[in-house]
Structure 1
Amino acid sequence: MSEETFTATVNLLEGVTVEAESRGHKIIMDEPEKMGGTDEGMNPVELTLCSLGGCLSICASMFAKSCDVELNDFSVELEGDIDLSGFKGADNVDPGFQDVRFTLYIDSDSPEENIKELVELIENRCPVSDSLQRNITIAGDYEIK
């Protein structure tokens, strides 16, 4: 088995603005002003969509050669629906995504059968997509400083 552990640290800065760091790379997350933030960065939900799109794109790049696909250009558009009443505490409403949709835009002169093979491989092997689609264990703890 080839298991890899990834790590990240997130610190609340001010209001609802947070700084996330992993492997020395940092990003700022915030909420739009209409949701109480200062709009200094994407919110975690938007970043989740970006993570999925990024992972799908990286998979395309990594698997294209094995499918004999030459990528001239590749992009992903994503959208997801959340019923915010779940976030606000409504009973029987999940606070997370209800649905996520994406479209892969593939510019390639390769045969369509090869492109279809690539798309299937991307969809089957994308770690972020897999994580979002199945139940995974998330365990939390806390310490008082």
Structure 2
Amino acid sequence: MKGTVKWMDGAMFVAESGSGHTVVMDGPEELGGRNQSLRPMEMLLLGTGGCAIYDVIAMLKKSRQQVTDCRVELQAERVDAVPAVFESMNLHFVVTGHGVKESQVRRAVELSAEKYCSASIMLSKAGVRVSHSFAVEEA
């Protein structure tokens, strides 16, 4: 995996992935940015959510659950020091569908947390308290 991050000005950067996709990152005005895009730590949080929801959806599809919607609500706390690393993170999955079995969702979330989600497992190994929760809603 490769990528490049290029400084534009102030606290704005353009990142390009090895697959050729780009994203803009920017900081708050008080740190020289223009507040026009995501912060780098927000991208880390959202990337973790993307990694985990990919796993959960793939497993629910494989178990033939009739999922009509799924989201992961992310909550993270950072230490009040430099570096301001993540101290804790919760990934709360809300799965909506027709007759979706709670046991299947629980198993998909557990497998993502313990075996498949490279991002959340990496953060956990680095000392971040990563927790997972879920809710199932009927469509």
Fold match by TM threshold 0.5: yes
Structure 1 runs (4+) greater than 3 angstroms displaced: none
> How far has the Cα of 1:69 moved from its partner?
2.4
Over the matched positions of the two proteins, sequence identity in percent amounts to 27
Runs of at least 5 residues in structure 1 that lack an aligned partner in the other structure: 1-5, 88-94, 136-145
Higher Cα Rg, which structure: 1
Q: C-alpha distance in 2, partners of 1:8/1:51?
A: 15
RMSD: 1.6
**How far has the Cα of 1:83 moved from its partner?**
2.8
Alignment map for 1:10-89 (pairs within 5 Å):
10-22=5-17, 23-87=19-83
On the 8 A contact 1:31/1:37 being kept in 2, the answer is yes
Measure how far apart 1:128 and its partner are: 0.9
Question: TM-score, length-normalised on structure 1?
Answer: 0.77
Partner of 1:122: 112
What is the SS of the residue equivalent to 2:27? coil
Tell me which of the two structures has the higher relative contact order, counting C-alpha pairs closer than 8 angstroms and 6 or more residues apart.
2
- Residues 53 and 62 of structure 1: is their aligned pair in 2 closer, same or farther, counting only changes over 3 Å? same
Give, as a single letter, the amino acid of the residue that structure 1 aligns with 2:90: R
- Give TM-score scaled by structure 2 length: 0.80
Whether the 8 Å contact between 2:11 and 2:31 is mirrored in structure 1 is: no
Structure whose residues are more often strand by fraction: 2
Select the residue among 90, 100, 104 that pairs with 1:110: 100
**Is 2:133 aligned against 1:133?**
no
Partners of 2:29 and 2:42 lie apart in 1 by 15
